[in-house]
Structure 1
């Protein structure tokens, strides 16, 4: 019975994922299956399996990652390439994944290089899936926690949509959520105090988490890969733009900036306030649909920044060259 249910769940999910609208029949089929898809989400959120970076991961039925990867196959691949560059300089690399979700970043990272990963996730649903997926990999450690600028308790709720989750603070209500600083949760995993790369993806708490990790950033000077979304930052009462002055005061100098689909936009010096203000304005008012991912390098890693910049430019030049060749061939 359970196998039959799993079969039909996967059938509906994959049919919707790879729907074709080229004929009237296919459009009708796609519309019917899409209605069934959302009915399933409304009443339940069962787990299905999907191959990410060559690994069969479990994910909630409502998770949109496969749909994103179908349209934007480079999504999150930049994180893995950058981690590979870091690993080449720091052979004993340890990686901290804040907002680990279901563990898709583990799979993407492990496709490129092998190193210990500490995953931090606060949402119960994503945490339970993360724990299952983590069994596929060695040297993966998991902490259940919400991180912030300081260690305290807040009144709030977790808002989830399409495979992402973020905290929303409420001034009233009985739901108390414990928020911790990064250094506090690392006490149980002291070897990760030496992590030379961290990823932060928390839909609006990203800058607060980095400010709360100031002591760690100043002492360890890791490469930082973080989401920068003015829409979600504003919802947390964060101006966002001040994080660049903060990072500069910690010794960070150079940035690689990508759009949220993994395409390299530009590199920048963190002191270029005019450019960063324009970047902030460009992504403001996008309602979370458009944002950027930023990789920040400490002054001590200027050499690594130059290597990463050169290799990323070359990667995208080659990619576009192949696309142009394919287009020319098809003509």
Structure 2
């Protein structure tokens, strides 16, 4: 299902919930516990609303992470947003594991920080970075990046995925290789990546990681947002193929074609799928 259709369904459900809560004197703000994690939510936001409805945000990704993440591992959450997957990853790696999470927008990073604050036992396993991952540490940071999916109609939303671009006033650019070098180059077991078209920016800055650790990736694949960023599916694949990676469907782990043309037909314009990129042994 295209994101625009998911948002349309969420907007309809939000209207019902919003009116019911208002009738009881309740606002859109609330704190809930889902799967042992506490969240502060704004129900007018798509991600928050999905959590409120029963942890319905990207259930396929959550299931895949439960299968893929190893206890005590070092894992990366690139495009952490409000921390839904970061906190799950903290549960999965356990007390001796580590999660590095990266979020460039001021809006989402503030929500991520608050959710970490609400879960002190898990927060001790998480290191948040308010940065934009790029090829070099001195790279230019985009002024805004999509990180909000409002459930009330607004001007200036993305025409296809209905996201709202949010400022990156404080974030600076970092490269993954640079971040890991500062930590004495630990081995990375898995990377969850969802950066709305900036994937190749991220990959340009992790050549050493791809060569040495060869971690498993769980990532969004959306050709149209790559094209919007001046990149391409071909460029994305060029970072994985030379390092022995193959793509698998997130849900059933079926091997996918490595042909850009085949993948475009599989995904379709205005849509995305989540894939596992795994290096051959």
Q: CA offset at residue 149 of structure 1?
A: 3.3
What CA deviation, in whole Å up to 9, does each residue of 1:286-328 have, x standing for no partner? 2xxx20111111122xxxxxxxxxxxxxxxxxxxxxxxxxxxx
Asked if 1 retains the 8 angstrom alpha-carbon contact of 2:192 and 2:219, the reply is yes
Q: CA offset at residue 52 of structure 1?
A: 3.1
User: Which residue in 2 is equivalent to 1:189?
Assistant: 183
Q: Tell me the TM-score normalized by structure 2.
A: 0.72
Map residues 43-54 of structure 1 onto 2, 5 A cutoff.
47-54=29-36
Equivalent residue for 2:125, pick from 126, 133, 139: 139
Mapped partners of 1:150, 1:204: distance in 2 = 18
User: Which residue in 2 is equivalent to 1:240?
Assistant: 233
Say yes or no: does 1:277 pair with 2:261: yes
Structure 2 residue ranges without an equivalent (≥5): 1-10, 151-162
User: Which residue in 2 is equivalent to 1:149?
Assistant: 135
RMSD: 3.7
Asked if 1 retains the 8 angstrom alpha-carbon contact of 2:99 and 2:127, the reply is yes
Asked if 2 retains the 8 angstrom alpha-carbon contact of 1:52 and 1:107, the reply is no
Distance 1:226 1:186, change over 3 A: same
What CA deviation, in whole Å up to 9, does each residue of 1:124-144 have, x standing for no partner? 121122122223113111111
Query: What SS is found at the alignment partner of 2:41?
Result: strand
Say yes or no: does 1:78 pair with 2:61: yes
Equivalent residue for 1:99, pick from 53, 66, 79: 79
Equivalent residue for 2:149, pick from 148, 162, 165: 162
Q: CA offset at residue 97 of structure 1?
A: 0.8
Asked if 2 retains the 8 angstrom alpha-carbon contact of 1:166 and 1:202, the reply is no
Say yes or no: does 1:30 pair with 2:7: no
Aligned length: 249
User: Which residue in 1 is equivalent to 2:212?
Assistant: 219
Larger Rg belongs to: 1
Asked if 1 retains the 8 angstrom alpha-carbon contact of 2:177 and 2:207, the reply is no
Mapped partners of 2:75, 2:109: distance in 1 = 18
Map residues 51-130 of structure 1 onto 2, 5 A cutoff.
51-68=33-50, 70=53, 73=56, 75-87=58-70, 92-110=72-90, 112-114=92-94, 115-130=97-112
Q: CA offset at residue 188 of structure 1?
A: 4.1
What CA deviation, in whole Å up to 9, does each residue of 1:117-176 have, x standing for no partner? 11111111211221222231131111110012344124532344317676899xxxxx79
Mapped partners of 2:29, 2:182: distance in 1 = 30
Mapped partners of 2:258, 2:247: distance in 1 = 12
Asked if 2 retains the 8 angstrom alpha-carbon contact of 1:17 and 1:66, the reply is no
Q: Tell me the TM-score normalized by structure 1.
A: 0.63
Asked if 1 retains the 8 angstrom alpha-carbon contact of 2:98 and 2:126, the reply is yes
Greater RCO (Cα-Cα under 8 Å, separation 6 or more): 2
User: Which residue in 2 is equivalent to 1:256?
Assistant: 248
Query: What SS is found at the alignment partner of 2:180?
Result: helix
